[in-house]
Amino acid sequence: MNAITMTTNTATGTRGWRASIADVPVLALGALLAVAIATGNASVTAAGAALSALSLLVTIVVLAFSRRQLRADPRSASFARLATGLAIATVLMGLAADALLLAAAWIVSGRLMAGLIGHVGEWSEARDAARRANIAFTVGDIALVVAVGSLASIAGSTDIAAIKAALPAMPALETTVAAFLLVIAALARCAIPPFSNWLMRSLAAPTPVSALMHAGFVNAGGFLLIQFAPVLEASLNARYALFATGIVAALVGSAIMLVRADIKGSLAASTVGQMGFMLLTVALGAYPAALWHMIAHGLFKAWLFLGSAGTISSAPTRAKGLSQPWPALIALATIIGGIALIQTEQAHALLPVCLALTALLSALAVALRALPRGPLGAAVALAPIVLIAINAAALAFMTAVQPGAAQPLISPYGQIAILSLFLAGWVWQQRIVSGQQALPPALFARMIHAGNALTSSTNANAKD
């Protein structure tokens, strides 16, 4: 074999894997995970299992995708190491039974993601994106370390189960401070305003990195708050603050998504909005719905990012929204379904369940609108119905393995009122994206400026 053949094999990834000094940190992380499991410092919870499974599945898919997409990138081996290390750190975080071990895995995953964001090291935008990500992650890391450190000090143990058991005897002030610190840590990781800047600037990273963020990283804030749910439930003020910031993020992300012309920028803004929905679901105490949101959104958004590099087309642009009367009918059906849901025992999850129902009914309406004739048409119409059934079954399963909060944050009828506001905004949004109505020029300009402020100098056409 000559030198040229060896070089080609290296570039295409066909040469067999050989351990090197650069692999030591990843191997050390794997060893730490094995030791944690062997010594009983790992435990399986519903939230931890969901986070770990999501991380492993998406990472495997992304690594397979990047093997071809980054085949000409001289840093492809470094990407694979960082991605593998991130998956191990995320699994360690999900299975950790010790609060300090969880915090350590949380910090390590943040540094690995910052390294992935700065993958194109000679590009100033990538270096700036990595720097800003490190700043946001550091704020969240400090908040988490102080929170678990104070809780462990009061409880006299770093074991998460022991901390939860000691909560009723803890002073209210310390518990409230810890709850707010946990919320700050979750907001920073989930890219909720004012921490959205790091996610929008991460568009400077290759497409596989954007997909990898949804492998239990950007959505890990929901896991953290569910894992320490008793701490959050001990402070109503912290839950109200989380709920308010979740609503703001949902509105801001959805608004910026409307005016972004680039695919990756639109998807990133959508993630901000979806993370807002996930965290407001946690604030309501609907933990099963939040867990399923974490999994479903992570899988779907990773898939969208992996396909974003192939979306350029010369075909005429079709309206993406539903024309009237579909949005109004779906909104009415959702409200009726919400009122019916009040009669069940799951009314505390009314808002997230009804918003999910809206999305699924929209998918069904889109399928019916584009319904072809023959067997294919039946399959197209059946797909959204099957999707609705799968989501209902998954939510029922999550409810069986993950209990919700003992005390709902907002009454069912209060959630109906908030749902009505969201649906009114959604109907208006559908009029805009379907081309039936244009945004007022002043509002459009403000939303463009808001989106630009989050990305600043980052090139919208980031390296794919």
Within a 10 A sphere around the Cβ of 7, how many other Cβ atoms?
A: 11
pLDDT on residue 456: 56
| Contacts for 14 with CB less than 8 Å, ≥ 6 apart | none
Q: Which of 168, 206, 271, 167 is nearest to 75 (CA)?
A: 206
pLDDT on residue 374: 61
Instruction: Please check whether residue 398 is in contact with residue 291, taking contact to mean a CB–CB distance below 8 angstroms.
Output: yes
Helix axes 236-259, 441-455, angle to 10 degrees: 110
| Tally of helices (H runs) and strands (E runs) in the chain | 20, 0
What percent of the residues of the chain are helix, what percent strand, and what percent coil, each to the nearest 5? 75, 0, 25
Domain ranges of the chain: 24-308, 326-434
d(CA 242, CA 285): 11
Ranges of residues in the chain with a pLDDT under 70 are 1-19, 309-321, 345-346, 367, 369-381, 383-384, 449-464
pLDDT digits (tens, 9 = 90+) for 156-181: 999 999 999 999 999 999 999 999 99
As given in the structure block, the two tokens for residue 119 are 């993958």
pLDDT on residue 372: 62
Main-chain phi, psi angles of 96, to 5 degrees: -60, 130
Instruction: Please check whether residue 160 is in contact with residue 201, taking contact to mean a CB–CB distance below 8 angstroms.
Output: no
pTM (two decimals): 0.88
Amino acid symbol at 340 = A
